[in-house]
Amino acid sequence: MKVLTDNFSVFAEGFLGTVELTVYSSLLALVLGFVMASFRVAPVRSLRAFGTAWVTVLRNTPLTLLFFAVLLGLPRFGLVLPFMVFAVLALGCYTSAFVCEALRSGINTVPTGQGEAARSLGMTFRQTLSHVVLPQAFRSVIPPVGSILIALAKNSAIAGAFSVTELLGTYRTLSELGYNVVWTFFWIAVGYLVVTGAISALFNLLERRWGIAR
């Protein structure tokens, strides 16, 4: 307990950094995931090809390598941003590929006849997707999207190796001060449990309210 009480400000700064990184990256992942899922089911071949390439490349690229590419590669092209922004871009883009596939699987559960009926009524692709398909798909993808965002929160630990303030990175500071490593990691684990538990509780609430009854 002494490790926590003596260094509460250090843990608090790392915890808030993890929360901030998780929230911003989740928002980016959800937005990009929705856009890419729309591309993947679009009637335009070029959009489908772009969405497929996005998912294929990001899902098959190690996250650590993507962090290196973004945090060390983009500045070489004149794009200089705070490390936190780079970390959000890397983590959000990476996770968006998994969100995209979860959303696409939900879209595929909606009967084809409903989309055809909407188009026969004169609705455009965008109207059919937003008013007919996605509201039904949303109900079936709540659990998998929740699991993806929980994984995102845990993946945020990689950002600590790139000078981004987050929870796991606190162990280096406390190790240099001579504190017990076991208890340091114990409180770090508790912090991650709080973050992932909050995400899980949120999606359990969404599932109870809007999910498909099993």
Q: CA 118 to CA 19: how far, in whole Å?
A: 41
Q: Which of 143, 18, 40 is nearest to 91 (CA)?
A: 18
pLDDT at 118: 73
Give 48: exposed, middle or buried? Use CB within 10 Å, 0-12, 13-18, 19+: middle
Identify the pLDDT of residue 212: 58
What pLDDT score was predicted for residue 150? 95
Neighbours of 119 (CB within 10 A): 14
pLDDT of amino acid 48: 92
pTM for the structure as a whole: 0.87
- pLDDT at position 128, please? 77
Nearest to 59 by CA among 27, 87, 25, 33: 33
The position carrying tokens 């590419």 is 69
Cα angle value 149/59/93 (rounded, 5°): 55
- pLDDT-flagged residues of the chain (< 50): none
Distance (Å, whole) CA 16 – CA 60: 30
